[in-house]
Amino acid sequence: MVSERHYSAVDRLLLQTDAALRTLLPFSGQPYRPSPANLQEECSLPAESARHVSGLMRINHTGEVCAQALYQGQALTARLPEVRQAMEHAAEEEIDHLAWCEQRIRELGGRPSLLNPLFYGLSFGVGAVAGLISDKVSLGFVAATEDQVVKHLDEHLAQLPEQDHKSRAILEQMREDELQHATTALEAGGLRFPAPVKFGMTLLSKVMTKSTYRL
């Protein structure tokens, strides 16, 4: 785990650059856990269904790119070492989701979103600003973001073809992990965002989902 006792500010900046490259370059993020899809048999999907599921998984993959950037930005500016470590640990777990989604997209004949670098940069900036404001706001932003992710996952699970057990296994495990991240952030002292702020986040998330479904 990264800590200030071992790394200078320059070192941490270099580590952030490395994290960005590992997030954005194809197949560069190595998962800590095997994909839950590995335990499921592949099914034959009609071309239209495969394209739709690939689009859904592309949305989720971009969501994980945003999560990586958000956590990395927050870790860079977090004041308390324990908060920084919590952000870095969450980012490690999100790498699993990133790799699982990318693998599934490729299996379905698709590719990750071309907009990922843009969303990474925006999310990193938001995370860094949240960390500068306060650790309480930063943790609250994590909880609110994970709530949005869970809602997307529920919508996507409802749209999956019944026979696509591979995609379902991935999204179900992601949902479980995201719920835990939200709970952990609140228990660590995260601010519970008011409804208007959450509504604004919902509108922004819709921009991401609509744009990355095809791009």
Q: Are 68 and 117 in contact (CB under 8 A)?
A: no
Between the CA of residue 174 and those of 16, 21, 105, 196, 198, what are the distances in Å? 24, 22, 15, 26, 21
User: For the packed helices 47-77 and 135-159, what is the interaxial angle rounded to 10 degrees?
Assistant: 170
How many whole angstroms separate alpha carbon 8 and alpha carbon 6?
A: 7
Known binding-site residue numbers for Fe cation:
64, 94, 97, 146, 178, 181
Known binding-site residue numbers:
64, 94, 97, 146, 178, 181
DSSP state of 160: S
